[in-house]
Amino acid sequence: MNASCVTLDDIVAAHRLLRDRNPLVQCLTNTVSVQFVANALLAAGAAPAMVDNPEEAAGFAEIADAVLVNLGTPTAAQVESSRLASAAARAAGKPWVLDPVGAGGLPWRTQVAVELLANRPSVIRANASEVMGLAGAEGGSRGVDSSAHVADSVDAARSLLDRAEVVAASGEVDHIFGHDSVVKIGGGSALLQRVTATGCALGALTAAYCSVSPSALIGAVAAHAHVAAASEIAARSTSRPGTFAAAFLDGLDAVDESALRELVRLD
C-alpha cells in the first residue's frame, strides 16, 4: 500500500463541512454509550438520532445522512434493526459505519457482524482484536478491549477491504486502511481508554464525517483526527477520567482549524 494520500488540508476541509452541514446520524449503539454518543455528535457539530427499533430503522436510515451500527450490547430487536438500517443505507447511497464490538470474542455477535458485511459498510471501525476477530484471525479479544497491537492486525484489515471501503483500526497509533493507501494518526490522550463510550463516539463521528467528505477514507481520517485533537485539548485541563469525560466533550466543540493543524499527526 502507498503512504498517506490524505492531507491536513483535506481534514480541515472536512471539518468545515461538518460544522456547516450539521449531518444527521442515526445511531444504533449500545446501551452504555447512548447519551455520551449523542452528546459527542452535538459537541462536534453533527446531530444524533437514536432510532434503533425494527419498526422505524429502515425508514429513518433513508432520511439520515449516515448510520452507525454498534454491536456493544446487541439484542435480537437491535440486531434486526441493524440489518434493516444498514441495508436501507446502502440502497439509499448513505454511508454507514460498522463498529463490531467484541467481534472474535463472542460467537453470536461475531456472526452478526459478519452477516452485516453483506451490506458493505463504508467503514469498519474497531480495535485491533476486533479487526482480527472479524476477519477470522486469532485476535485475543477481551470484549471491548483490545489485547492485540494495531501492527498485528494489518493483514486482517487488508482482507476486510473486500467487504468495506475503509477499515480503521484504533490503537496507540490509529491505522486507517483504504484500498490503495494507509493513513496513520498519532497523538491523542491515554485517558480515552479510561472513559467508556469514547470509541463508540468515534464510530458515530466517523459516520458523520463520511457523509460530508468526498471519500470514506477522508471521512474516517478526519473523524480520528478530530477525536485525537479533542482528547489532547481535554488532557491539558485534567488528568482524571471523570473530569476528562466532560472535558473531552468540550474539546470536541473547541477543535478548529488551528487545533487540527497544531495537534494532528499524520503519517
Tens digits of residue pLDDT in 30-80: 999 999 999 999 999 999 999 999 999 999 999 999 999 999 999 999 999
Report the predicted TM-score, pTM, of the whole model to 2 decimal places.
0.94
The superfamily (CATH) of domain 8-266 is: Ribokinase (3.40.1190.20)
Tens digits of residue pLDDT in 122-163: 999 999 999 999 999 544 444 445 567 888 899 999 999 999
Grid cell in block for residue 218: 477522508
∠ at Cα 39 (144, 64), nearest 5°? 90
The CB-based long-range contact list for 107-116 (8 Å cut-off, 24+ gap) reads 108/74, 109/71, 109/74, 110/134, 112/71, 112/74, 112/79, 112/82, 113/71, 115/83, 116/69, 116/82, 116/83, 116/86
| Domain assignments of the chain as residue spans, ordered by start | 8-266
